[in-house]
Structure 1
């Protein structure tokens, strides 16, 4: 069995210092607990930040390092500035609110991106230094979104998994991030990407399509010659361990005191974070007491709010808001013998938390956004007495699994108050029926099931291979092609336009040639040993207007029309036109139904462009359009051709490959032919080149061309190299 290398922002330990003594103690929490068994059984290291060790003297640091080594923990040491910029400023102050759908919490100055990239690179170096061939590498969470791709650069054949423990936002929100392309490309360095829920996975797929233009086929994405799998793996808790703790624990004295006056307990345990919905929960509880005075003196809310990210300004303001609401409710409803709220602004140990779970009549888990929320599952795991009611926000990942909970919209104050009242009044048989269903799922699909399932899926994924044929050609190969062209007695260039000589534009008319390109083509045409042919899918009138004065060969509508220097436009071959009206009607209908799309009419055929349409909807419409056209025009002499955000309908037998013979016939005998293109239509041109010719693909898509340039700037630089 291959080793498992785990990578997370923090190591699963805490370094404690007491005078001269230092201890390395296990951390508590969902991730540390969930990955403990894979780490113990996997045989590999756990890579992460050990915390701030700057205050330790050299001898203490040596003891800590030795202990970490014994535990198979590989530390990545960070400076205080790196922690502030990478962790606080970027991960927590920027990524956290965007991923949790809180764009209003995004700071005006979005700093830390450079440090985030640099620290992710340091993690990549650390993993590469400790990994062995055949290892399975499992990376965790939003602090390391760039790591899979950076590690892929260092270990191209590694098997890499990535799991996101927080929500993935809608594509509209994700695109708030200035580094959105880099973050997605980072995640796509993995072989398998896991999410808690299907909705998070859909949001990710939509963002990949909208930002990077890569389409998701059910559960896989083709990206730079690799297949990236995506999947849903809802994380659980160590249900057996929690049940064992609950079974052997006595009721905590502090918890027992809360019940001495006979009050029924409503419990909330959260980090003090604006995503957890504590203020709205307090408002709902206040409304409950105001509308149901009979509950005063008979219920008590125990709210634990563990301080979190106190260095971030938004959290300090949030704490003041919670403190103010607690004081308001207490002042309005407390009596000399009863307090409506028992508020704890500190962390509790595990025994105290379990005691509260056991004592709760109603457990409130009402975040306004949460990736999973393991508190809900911990509560269920502890309640082996079969009683208690879980009130759960529908905006948690857990809501997709825990159908027997009383689910609420935490933004609905009245609805949440009514749900709490319903939970307090729920008959015992209903409480037990609901808890039975909850416990069945929580105990069966625990954290060990989660880890085992993800690692099995990662091991079953196609073996990682170094991408073939999609890398930019080495500089030496490009220079060799240039040398051959410069040394040839005569060379003929066949050049595509959109995506090869100019970048794609939202609409065809906006991709006009700039002065630099026109000067380049004119200089090439004037060279005594070069002939230039522009081979494009654009209409002949447009091509003539833009390039007719440059003295180059022009071939419009994929070669349906040709114009050689000194001659007029000539039709390649007569074609049937009976199919045009049915095709036009279908294309116009789809353009009307797809905002942002348009129909470009040509003398030979049509092009339906959807570059400015909604990417998801446009891609789906393009698929439906091709099916519809294929059915209606099944017996017509036409081809239906998908391109870069375009669907073209053109006569059969007319393609760029036919231009090669015409250009060769117009060139001196023995001319060296070279073709540059970027999409499917240019493959016909490459296929028609004679032996010994030079074919150059521009961009990242698959191609038969043996040479590849990165993009339009490199394509122009290649042509300038001929001068």
Structure 2
């Protein structure tokens, strides 16, 4: 059985006292969420790798008993101390400071960063077995995919980028940015935390690496997914009310809890926790904005009221449209990678198990009685002292001063150390508010699982992330536990739920939005609809291209040659496919000749004919026309020409043949001698013409070609800057593609893949050939069909299963088909 190797900066193990490490809370890291969410039967096939001691924690000599495998990585430096990682963090989290300013001597920290990744690479190789999936997480290991790909070409790599990905203008300022991007693209699948960050990554890859991309349709995405086993489907359908299943969930959850799970507190019983009454030492907070004594308090209040009135009028605009999840395929430097937005997930089965225990039910019942009719707002804190915790705490101060409502606040420090220390400004502010408003603000540090999930289930609203957070595992768990709860998050964060209250980074605005949200009638929210269980998410990580295939002779006289997986080669490496030599060519011809129904799909330029400096000189030769005529004359064979050429030229060159034609990448279709057009938006053409015309003026030997639905810049090897300009100006309205010696702009909903799917028949033995990136659209949509044999002409990254070196060799192969 294949395994998952979960690689993160640190192991999901905590050790607050003693020498025994216990599982970190599910909300403390994605690795910990995976640990709590993995199925029990998968534990022995899950390996966690990382530095064994999280910062501020004790060393441990043994780990809590479980079926998981923990592989410690002993590095000379802790990941939190990596200088290059810190600068990556500054780039990603714009609110943390100088996001685009770097010291001149960052080369040495980068070398240290490389060495850190090399150590992890060697450790992964020690435990890796063929067929394993390596899941890489965190900003500390961005170079690991490229290092692993070089050492183990066939390894299956999934990378999770957990921080916000900045715009390409900011990311381009990162030293060694190309190396970082190339490594990220060396993974088979890359997940980012929001659609905005996916777009930013695609733009950065395009501008810095000239990476090309395509959006895969829902149909193609479903074919890329590996089917789950019937057993998994059966388990998913089991009724939650079953006593046997309930006991199993309880046992599963209890096995993951540490023996001494936090502090058992009744946070709603009155006052603050035992930590809340400590006097603050130093760093006294500035609470002058709450002091009613200054003479200008009335004027200040009027100004504030006017500000809030103007701002709140526009608050309804703070919404994010969550579209369908899209999967993008990126190509760059002989690499291909699937890029998408990660689905919010939570260890659902673990949470259900906790909530079915008697300990939880007792805790929940007691806290529910204490809550009574009061409304509770939960403020979640971790190790972050800056930004959101301070703003949220200031918002609590303003709310308690200005709003006369029965709302209490619970400050819950869920993990980490620094934010809860008595000497911090944040704790000082909380102490002052608690003293100023007795029994209205409670502080709970490191609650046990029963208290924590009871708080999530009871809280009417929850503030759980910072302005620059890409995701919040606590917020995911809140949505899972409390379908009626109101998540309140900064608009600048990457959090995208259908029913959340967005705020601006201003305490007064946060307080006003809280008030509005709490005054609205309590209704069930749709947020839980977009949350999946960690198990489902782990299964979806297998949504990567199936391994490339190799030809095999039919075992009997079967009419189709099946494509079998090759385990001896590194099939998942981009650009690696079977080279058509005499043996494989003979197999292909034998299967084709024996087939009762056949289809031949061909690109023209660079595939049937060689690329020439002047595209007008690429007129088909008598040899090519005779070859196409011979193929199409067979009643068993359907020939399809799919070209980027205009329909007028396609008609002139191929109109006399018995072939179907798709021109301008599928914008026009010729069948039975008649042309039809595919509806598409071409309003962007004047802008594209304007941009390209400017670049033609100072690019020797270049020229502009305007078709009915496409605009082409024939530029040789000098089109990078024009492509960047086109992407900036019309990137959202049209698709910019860098082909061989050209930059082409074409409609978003038109490509060769869409055209081929209209014609494809599963009964037909199919040969599909092309030479450049525009032909990858065909290879991608056809790759999962066993009777399709796609051929890439030339040497580059491809989804094709076969490769041939030149158009002349392809013509020779086609001429020998009967």
Q: What TM-score does the superposition give when structure 1 sets the normalisation length? A: 0.59
Answer whether contact 1:35 1:451 (CA < 8 A) is retained.
no
Aligned counterpart in structure 2 of residue 403 of structure 1, from 494, 498, 504: 498
**Within 2, Cα distance between the matches of 1:39 and 1:169?**
37
Q: Secondary structure at the match of 1:102?
A: helix
Q: How far off its partner does 1:118 sit?
A: 0.8
Shift in CA distance, 198/319, structure 1 to aligned 2, threshold 3 Å: farther
Aligned counterpart in structure 1 of residue 426 of structure 2, from 302, 322, 330: 322
Answer whether contact 1:152 1:158 (CA < 8 A) is retained.
yes
Identify the residue that residue 205 of structure 1 maps to in structure 2: 202
Q: Secondary structure at the match of 2:135?
A: strand
Pairing 1:458–2:458 present: no
**Within 2, Cα distance between the matches of 1:458 and 1:592?**
39
Number of equivalences: 506
**Within 2, Cα distance between the matches of 1:97 and 1:604?**
41
Identify the residue that residue 52 of structure 2 maps to in structure 1: 51
Deviations along 1:213-251, one digit per CA (max 9) or x if unpaired, are: 212222111233342212223131122432442354156
Segments ≥4 residues shifted beyond 6 Å: 53-57, 67-70, 315-319, 556-559, 586-589, 606-609, 622-628, 644-647, 699-706
Q: How far off its partner does 1:461 sit?
A: 6.2
**Within 1, Cα distance between the matches of 2:5 and 2:367?**
44
Identify the residue that residue 278 of structure 2 maps to in structure 1: none
Q: Secondary structure at the match of 1:266?
A: strand
The structure, 1 or 2, with the larger RCO (C-alpha pairs under 8 Å, 6+ apart) is 2
**Within 2, Cα distance between the matches of 1:627 and 1:53?**
45
Aligned counterpart in structure 2 of residue 238 of structure 1, from 347, 357, 367: 347
**Within 2, Cα distance between the matches of 1:213 and 1:182?**
14
Q: What TM-score does the superposition give when structure 2 sets the normalisation length? A: 0.52
Identify the residue that residue 561 of structure 2 maps to in structure 1: none
Q: Supply the RMSD in Å over aligned alpha carbons.
A: 5.0
**Within 2, Cα distance between the matches of 1:29 and 1:253?**
19
Identify the residue that residue 382 of structure 1 maps to in structure 2: 481
Map residues 534-683 of structure 1 onto 2, 5 A cutoff: 590=688, 592-593=690-691, 597=695, 599-600=697-698, 611-612=720-721, 615=724, 617-618=726-727, 643=741
Q: How far off its partner does 1:300 sit?
A: 2.2
Identify the residue that residue 99 of structure 1 maps to in structure 2: 92
Identify the residue that residue 347 of structure 1 maps to in structure 2: 446
Shift in CA distance, 641/371, structure 1 to aligned 2, threshold 3 Å: closer
Identify the residue that residue 212 of structure 2 maps to in structure 1: 215
Answer whether contact 1:597 1:611 (CA < 8 A) is retained.
no
**Within 1, Cα distance between the matches of 2:505 and 2:690?**
38
Q: How far off its partner does 1:421 sit?
A: 1.0
Q: How far off its partner does 1:180 sit?
A: 1.3
Identify the residue that residue 512 of structure 2 maps to in structure 1: 418
Deviations along 1:13-72, one digit per CA (max 9) or x if unpaired, are: 345763xxx424222234223245268517545242352499999xx98x749x999742
Shift in CA distance, 280/414, structure 1 to aligned 2, threshold 3 Å: same
Pairing 1:149–2:146 present: yes
Note the residue ranges of structure 1 that are not aligned, 5 or more in a row.
Answer: 471-535, 538-555, 560-585, 629-639, 648-678, 681-698, 707-723
**Within 1, Cα distance between the matches of 2:440 and 2:480?**
27
Aligned counterpart in structure 2 of residue 288 of structure 1, from 385, 399, 403: 399
Note the residue ranges of structure 2 that are not aligned, 5 or more in a row.
Answer: 216-327, 550-570, 578-611, 618-683, 705-713, 746-771, 774-794, 807-818
Q: Secondary structure at the match of 2:190?
A: strand
Identify the residue that residue 780 of structure 2 maps to in structure 1: none
Aligned counterpart in structure 1 of residue 82 of structure 2, from 74, 89, 103: 89
Answer whether contact 1:284 1:416 (CA < 8 A) is retained.
yes
Aligned counterpart in structure 1 of residue 408 of structure 2, from 289, 293, 300: 300
Deviations along 1:486-524, one digit per CA (max 9) or x if unpaired, are: xxxxxxxxxxxxxxxxxxxxxxxxxxxxxxxxxxxxxxx
Q: Secondary structure at the match of 1:166?
A: coil
Identify the residue that residue 367 of structure 1 maps to in structure 2: 466
Deviations along 1:316-347, one digit per CA (max 9) or x if unpaired, are: 9998442454356456xx25xx3443345x43
**Within 2, Cα distance between the matches of 1:40 and 1:91?**
39
Aligned counterpart in structure 1 of residue 378 of structure 2, from 267, 274, 282: 267
Q: How far off its partner does 1:124 sit?
A: 0.9
